Amino acid sequence: MGVSTSNFKNGMCIIHEGKRWVIVEFQHVKPGKGGAFVRTKLKELQSGRVVDYTFRAGEKFDDVRVENKKMQFLYSDGATFHFMDAQSYEQVELDSDFVGSTAKWLRESDEVEILTANGEYMGVEPPMFVELEVTETDPGFKGDTVQGGTKPATLETGAVVQVPLFVETGDKLRIDTRDGRYVTRV
């Protein structure tokens, strides 16, 4: 199956240079001189690195059918992460290198989406928003700043995020896992 640059969509998975890539964003460009081209930002599924590529308009690629499988995170023993399919109760062990930076958003019994392509595990996607408790942060002082200042806070999973000065240890926060940004106190 081939897909042309004119059919690109965000989230689509293609094969380029023998590797699987997810299209993060793309832009069709038609300059006054010369042929049209497509500027893309691609994320390699294996390593997670994001790169910019430019393709000629009309170039064809093989696409990969990626499926999302909802699974529950059971626990981590340091080297491996254990997940369970809620429907079949099948358990899967994934290497900590494979889970990567997603691990800082995972708590036991949280539901995640595991990406699969042709029966092969491709990646772990945490929920878009997670609610985590602050385990450590410096106290904020009244009148510290006129503008909204921030300070680092360590969450129960070990993740460190920038939060407003009024956040205290023990507060529960909603965090956007796409960019690690504080959203609100819960």
pLDDT tens column, 98-154: 887 888 889 888 899 888 877 778 778 888 899 999 999 888 665 555 566 788 899
Range of the domain at 146: 129-185
Residue 6 sits in the same domain as residue 58: yes
Q: Identify the domain boundary among 45, 63, 81.
A: 63
What's this model's pTM, rounded to 2 decimal places? 0.68
55 shares a domain with 8: yes
For the record, the structure tokens of 99 come out as: 């889970």
Given a contact cutoff of 8 angstroms between Cβ atoms, the answer to whether 165 and 155 are in contact is: no
Domain CATH number, residue 50: 2.30.30.30
Between 11 and 167, where is the model more confident? 167
Query: What is the C-alpha to C-alpha distance for residues 18 and 29, in angstroms, rounded to an integer?
Result: 25
Q: What is the tally of structural domains in the chain?
A: 3
Mean pLDDT of the chain: 85
- Predicted local distance difference test score (pLDDT) of residue 144: 55
Q: Residue 112 belongs to a domain with what CATH number? A: 2.40.50.140
The pLDDT of residue 122:
77
